[in-house]
Amino acid sequence: MKPLLLSLIFALAVTNAPAQAFMGLYGTDNNATLVRENPAFAVHEDRTQITFSSFGAEVGGNTILFKKSIFSFLFTGKAEMDKDYFRNQNDKPSRFFWANMEYCGPGVSFRVKKRYFFAINSGMRYLVNSDNLDRGVADLLGVHALNNGDSQGNHNIKNYALTGQVFSELNLSYAGFLYESTNDEYKLIGGATVKLLNGIAAAGIGIPSASFKTYNNDGIAYDVQGTANVAFTPNAQKWALTNSPLRALTAATNNIGVGADVGLIYYMNPNETIVPKGGYVSRFSASVTDIGSISYSSSATSGSYSVNDTNINYRGLRNIEKQTFGTRIFNDFVGDSLASPSGSIKKIKVYLPTALHLNADFKIESRFFLNANLLLNLRKASADYYSNHYVSTLTVTPRYAIKNFSVSMPFSFNDQMQGYLGAIVCYGPVFIGSGSLFQIAASNSINNINFFMGAQMRLRPKKQKVKDMMMM
């Protein structure tokens, strides 16, 4: 009977975790990191490219705002309400939240006989999405709740969806030329990736429809009605509702899944001279990534629940600052409420965040480039199934590049009407950047945190001597 309120509080609990990482990271030269977004980027002019490691993270939404002190989380693993973050009191009727962490590496990209290109990349991802949580319900839950139910209130939940998962992946990519003009002015490249996925842990909650009433600030949700779908892998409390998603590694379920990426790149390099000209004037690419899903073994707590005219003490699950919501839920509620669920399930299918990527890169002059990237989400948040998704985002990035150094300034605007400005610096094999650097630096009410860094090495082709290219 308690899973409905359990579900809602879980939504706030996961916001303690640290997404669309590597925002604006595009260069003139293809590199192994970009292969994860478009397998056609495996085609390059180097002999070999090696990715040692790269890390990216993003957290955003309209549920909470961060203070600069939140970055102490990276060293302490702790974040406190009203000290490091606080509730977002905007007037939007629905609350949403996302958190993504990606670790990439090691990886390698190489060519065979100058015509066939391969890439092998490994990594790990942690993804969380919370969507369609009614503002009034969100204000009732958690530490320092804004809404105490002082007067009569009718609350409704429609299509609420929460999904989190941790998985590792091994990506095998192939790319090659589909078309080349006789003078190398125009090239079309295609690529594909097969993703071998190891599902470590997952958790999901879906509430198609529910309603309840509040009276007189007594902490009771009256006449609760509705249904909820709840799914956890075994020992989910060790990671899903704590400050450390890496704890999932201590309770891995080791479920196997398969996914795929496909992509195209078209280069335009009009040449009005007889002497061959390197590089390109414009580059257009399109890809669909993260096609597929992972089936996880579920715990005994997974299943479907119905509540009809039940009263629930939601205040008993909040305002206990020395205990995480996860500890309260799993210790006090799972044992007596979810032990014998109706319509239990043995497997949880969690879909990957399938997305369409459209990218264009233009050479304005010899050292200045302009890049535009559209990340379009292809997964709809739904209470009927479990799925992660990205937030559709348009990013425009001017870039200045000279030899082994480049600096970029990405400006992004997403479909939640949020905009942010960042900066990226690449020097030799190292890159570091943030898609929301200026908001982080200038504000103490931050709605998006994005940062990434990495190191990679390029083994360039041996220079060839040029002998009398033409006789005059």
Three-class SS of residue 76?
helix
Q: Locate 281 and state its tokens.
A: 């004037």
Model pLDDT, residue 10: 39
Range of 446's domain? 3-459
CA distance 470 to 364: 30
Whether the pLDDT of residue 359 is over 60: the answer is yes
pLDDT digits (tens, 9 = 90+) for 250-261: 555 568 899 999
Establish if 466 belongs to a structural domain.
Answer: no
Model pLDDT, residue 447: 87
Q: Residue 364 — φ and ψ, nearest 5°?
A: -80, -45
Residue 26's contacts (CB-CB under 8 Å, 6 or more residues apart) are 34, 359, 361, 371, 373, 397, 399, 408
Q: Locate 160 and state its tokens.
A: 């609420």
Q: Locate 230 and state its tokens.
A: 């709840």
Three-class SS of residue 348?
strand
Model pLDDT, residue 268: 94
Place of tokens 């390197």: 278
Q: Average pLDDT, whole number, for the chain?
A: 80
pLDDT band at residue 3 using 50, 70 and 90 as cut-offs: very low
Establish if 470 belongs to a structural domain.
Answer: no
Establish if 464 belongs to a structural domain.
Answer: no
Tell me the β-bridge partners of 455.
53, 430
Establish if 287 belongs to a structural domain.
Answer: yes
* Spatial contact of 95 and 62, defined as CB atoms under 8 Å apart: yes
Establish if 468 belongs to a structural domain.
Answer: no
Q: Going by DSSP bridges, is the β-strand pair 386-387/347-351 parallel, antiparallel, or unpaired?
A: parallel
CA distance 97 to 19: 11
Q: Looking at residue 193, which CATH number applies to its domain?
A: 2.40.160
pLDDT band at residue 79 using 50, 70 and 90 as cut-offs: confident
Q: Locate 216 and state its tokens.
A: 């007189």
Model pLDDT, residue 232: 85
* Spatial contact of 425 and 407, defined as CB atoms under 8 Å apart: yes
pLDDT digits (tens, 9 = 90+) for 80-95: 777 888 888 888 888 9
Other CB atoms within 10 Å distance of the CB of residue 444: 10
Q: Which residue did the predictor score with more confidence, 150 or 269? A: 269
CA distance 134 to 130: 11
Establish if 98 belongs to a structural domain.
Answer: yes
What is the total count of domains within the chain?
1
Whether the pLDDT of residue 209 is over 80: the answer is yes
Q: Residue 77 — φ and ψ, nearest 5°?
A: 75, 15
Lowest model confidence (mean pLDDT) among 178-192, 230-244, 283-297, 323-337: 323-337
Q: Which residue did the predictor score with more confidence, 234 or 14? A: 234
| Mean pLDDT, residues 393-402 | 94
Establish if 207 belongs to a structural domain.
Answer: yes
Q: How many CA atoms lie within 13 A of 389 on its CB side?
A: 22
Model pLDDT, residue 351: 97
Q: Distance between alpha carbon 143 and the CA centroid of its chain, in Å?
A: 26
Mean pLDDT comparison of 11-25, 65-79, 343-357, highest-scoring range: 343-357
Model pLDDT, residue 4: 41
Whether the pLDDT of residue 266 is over 50: the answer is yes
Whether the pLDDT of residue 248 is over 80: the answer is no
pLDDT digits (tens, 9 = 90+) for 140-154: 776 666 665 445 688
Question: How does DSSP assign 336-400, residue by residue?
Answer: HHSSS-BT--SEEEEE---EEEEEEEEEEETTEEEEEEEEEE-----TTSEE--PPPEEEEEEEE
| Mean pLDDT, residues 188-216 | 92
Establish if 110 belongs to a structural domain.
Answer: yes
Model pLDDT, residue 158: 94
